[in-house]
A and B are shown apart, each in its own frame.
Chain A
């Protein structure tokens, strides 16, 4: 990746993302992982590390790790090992975290995405180092000052043991923009394949950014790790602040000390955490309670065959099969629902580019303003297809179509919406019910274009007679004079005249 320099420094960013896997039960116990329960009501004896308890691995977590590995073209280790990471912390009930150290389950792989650079869209690729399975810790609550008469923290172990896939990149990102773009793409992938709900507020997708700066070509600088970036906005702010801070330090002749820092959204600054003195020595060793995790090729093949089409693959298909520009294809594959809505519409009306324009334009604009998901759109794919059909067969103009669309979008129309499951849309066939509904609205609003030449010619003749001056000027070569004629004609036709047809007839009559 070409490096954009900041004050003559190259920015180097690597990511560690903790994704909570969307299982029902915890990674090593049968307790629920549901969010928001009363403190410690979802921490069973195993999660509380009560004496005598032992871990038993959840197949669902492994399944999701395999799905992720396949989604990013990584190597799925036939044999991986769980290790103990030893350190004392109140939210770590066993005094060690069960994780993977020397041999992770997912090895290598890459994440690609598009970025606007100046005019053109460029494809960026971030290499992944590894993704490993581990257990989440509990939560320490410091806010409640009343606890224990003050000065105490409360420990809730409901989250302890929630399965995590920690996804680690190479230090491949060179700007906060790239970092955010990567994080968004990763977020899209894990939610698309359904291994994580992606809820950043609830901590299901937590990003740590390792940031360092260096003079181009120099050795990697000392990095500082920004912890728990739980929104893309903060991510950008935090990294930008951190980069400026590090450059200022170096410019002022200070050296950067390796540290873990937190971002404070209120001040917009990052500050170093109180470091665990012995954080350096985790005394990793293979967990004797858990034999090696062995994943057979047959399992990987089975998962591969059952996996949904990935966004990038689908985008490529849209470009290929629907002749869409790469930009459209990428936009339309931001979520499964949008992609499905597009395909249903495009197939039905046979006009992919028009469908794309409408969905990226009218549809998404209205969804945004009313903060709705596409599943809730009052206008179904079948209706949109019908509408596009009527535009392309010249029944109505684009303006008229927009009026019909407005009308359909009204919530009160919602109950009239023709329900059409996206699957049963057959190529080139527009649902009759939808078509009838569109035609009724066109009729009711009298938006039908006037395609009867005789009637139109009469109007044109009247207008020409009424505007001899424009006619002369046009004949004298002033094409602008034509507008002075088209206007009145459209007006006389109450907007129903087909502009194309009007132009054609005028040319014939004046030429």
Chain B
């Protein structure tokens, strides 16, 4: 299978990336080039195989660790916002959100 220019446009929008025409073209060729080597994967019979999330699950059961419900984070707003592009009265500023 191979991607179409429409796929590239759709995905670029999903991923919130503005691509110039030439970029989109290069992207299309390169990604399709990559999917050339992906074909091999499709042939593999994986029936009954559990997908692996945490690698070490290959030898032991890895389950979610739970922490006690305790508050211990101090207010570090200024420190946390020191690299923010636009802040006013502690709020992050963004172009108006219309609902």
Chain A contact residues, CB within 8 Å of chain B: 23-25, 29-32, 38-45, 48, 50, 56-62, 82, 88-90, 140-142, 147-148, 151-157, 262, 273-274, 277-278, 281, 283, 286, 288, 290-294
Q: Chain A residues near B97: list those with CB within 8 A.
A: 89-90, 140, 142, 153
Q: Mark B59-90, 1 if CB is under 8 A from A, else 0.
A: 00011111111111101110011000010111
Partner of B80, one of A40, A273, A278, A288: A40
Task: Assess the A274–B54 pair: CB atoms within 8 A.
Answer: no
CB closest chain-B residue, reference A89: B97
Residue from the list A29, A155, A286, A292 in contact with B91, Cβ < 8 A: A155
A40: B residues at CB distance < 8 A:
77, 80-81, 90-92
Q: Is the CB of B88 within 8 A of A290?
A: no
Known: A142-B97, A155-B91. A30 touches B53 (CB 8 A): no
Nearest neighbor of A21 in chain B, beta-carbon distance: B69
Q: Evaluate contact between A57 and B71: CB separation under 8 angstroms.
A: no
Chain A, interface SS category = loop
Assuming the contacts A43-B80, A44-B73, asked whether A153 and B89 have C-beta atoms less than 8 A apart, the reply is no
A-B contact pairs, 18 of them (CB 8 A): A25-B72, A30-B70, A30-B73, A40-B90, A43-B77, A44-B76, A57-B67, A89-B97, A142-B97, A151-B95, A151-B96, A152-B93, A153-B93, A156-B91, A291-B63, A292-B62, A293-B63, A294-B63
Besides A32-B71, A148-B88, A293-B63, 8 more A-B contacts (Cβ < 8 Å) are A40-B91, A90-B92, A140-B94, A148-B86, A148-B93, A274-B99, A278-B14, A292-B63
Nearest first, the 9 A-B pairs at minimum CB distance are A60-B69, A154-B91, A59-B66, A44-B73, A155-B92, A39-B90, A294-B63, A31-B73, A41-B75
User: In this complex, what residue of B is CB-closest to A93?
Assistant: B92
- Tell me the bound Cα distance from A248 to B80 in angstroms: 52
Contact between chains at A277 and B13 (CB < 8 Å)? yes
Q: Which residues of the partner chain A approach B90 to less than 8 Å between Cβ atoms?
A: 38-41, 156
Q: Closest Cβ of chain B: how far from A388's Cβ, in Å?
A: 44
A24 and B69 contact, CB distance less than 8 A: yes
**What is the distance, in angstroms, from B23's C-beta to the closest C-beta of chain A?**
20
Chain B residues near A151: list those with CB within 8 A: 95-96
Chain A residue at smallest Cβ distance from B94: A90
CA distance A288 to B99 in the complex (A): 32
Asked if B98 lies at the interface with its beta carbon under 8 angstroms from chain A, I say yes
With A and B bound together, what is the CA distance between A89 and B53 in angstroms? 27
B36 nearest CB across to chain A (Å): 23
- Rounded to whole angstroms, the CA-CA distance of A41 and B75 in the bound complex is 5
CA distance A23 to B97 in the complex (A): 30
Contact present for B94 and A42 (CB under 8 Å): no
Most B C-beta atoms less than 10 A away, residue of A32, A41, A82, A154: A154
Decide: A25 near B95, CB < 8 A? Known: A43-B80, A50-B80: no
Within 8 A of A (CB), among B29-74: 53-54, 57, 62-73
**Residues in B whose Cβ lies below 8 Å from that of A61:** 69
Q: Does residue B16 face the partner (Cβ distance < 8 Å to A)?
A: yes
Q: What's the Cα separation between A113 and B94 when bound, in Å?
A: 45
Q: Chain B's nearest CB lies how many Å from the CB of A445?
A: 54
In the assembled complex, the Cα of A88 lies from the Cα of B95 at a distance in Å of 14
Contact partners of A88 in chain B: CB under 8 A: 16
CA–CA, A97 and B90, complex, Å: 23
From A48, A58, A152, B69 is in contact (CB under 8 Å) with A58
Number of B residues near A (Cβ < 8 Å) is 36
- Cβ of B54: which chain A residues have Cβ within 8 Å of it? 288, 291
B40 to chain A minimum Cβ distance, whole angstroms, is 22
User: Distance (Å) between the CB of A230 and the closest chain B CB?
Assistant: 15
> CB distance A141 to B91 under 8 Å?
yes
Considering only CB atoms, which chain B residue lies closest to A277 in the complex? B13
Q: Please name all residues of chain A whose beta carbon is closer than 8 Å to the beta carbon of B66 when the two chains form the complex.
A: 57-59, 62
B7 to chain A, nearest CB (A): 12
Instruction: Give B98's nearest chain A residue, CB to CB.
Output: A274
Write the chain A residue with the least CB distance to B69: A60
- A288→B88 contact, CB < 8 A: no
Chain A's closest residue to B86 (CB) is: A148
Nearest A residue to B92 via CB reads: A155
Q: Which A-chain residue is minimally distant from B14 (CB atoms)? A: A278
Q: Is the beta-carbon distance between B86 and A29 smaller than 8 angstroms?
A: no
Whether the Cβ atoms of B96 and A142 lie closer than 8 Å is yes
Q: Whole-angstrom distance from the CB of A24 to the nearest CB of chain B?
A: 5
CB distance from B16 to the nearest CB of A (A): 5
Name the residue of chain B whose CB is nearest to the CB of A154: B91
Q: Within the assembled complex, what's the spacing in Å between the Cα atoms of A90 and B57?
A: 35
> Are the CB atoms of A262 and B88 closer together than 8 Å?
no
The CA of A25 and the CA of B16, in the complex, are separated in Å by 32
Looking at the complex, which one of A56, A141, A153 makes contact with B65 (CB distance below 8 Å)? A56
- What residues of A have a CB within 8 angstroms of the CB of B89 in the complex? 39, 154
Let me know if A44 and B91 touch, CB within 8 A.
no
| Partner among A58, A281, A291, A292 whose Cβ is within 8 Å of the Cβ of B14 | A281
* B 1-40 binary contact with A (CB < 8 Å = 1; else 0): 0000000000001101000000000000000000000000
Whether the pair B71, A24 counts as a contact (CB closer than 8 A) is yes
Chain A residues with Cβ below 8 Å from B63 are 291-294
- Which residues of the other chain, B, contact A273 by a CB distance below 8 angstroms? 99
A94 to chain B, nearest CB (A): 14
- Residues of B contacting A290 with CB < 8 Å? 64
Q: Is the CB of A59 within 8 A of B67?
A: yes
CA distance A281 to B95 in the complex (A): 24
Chain A residues near B75: list those with CB within 8 A: 41-42
A292, B92: Cβ atoms closer than 8 Å:
no
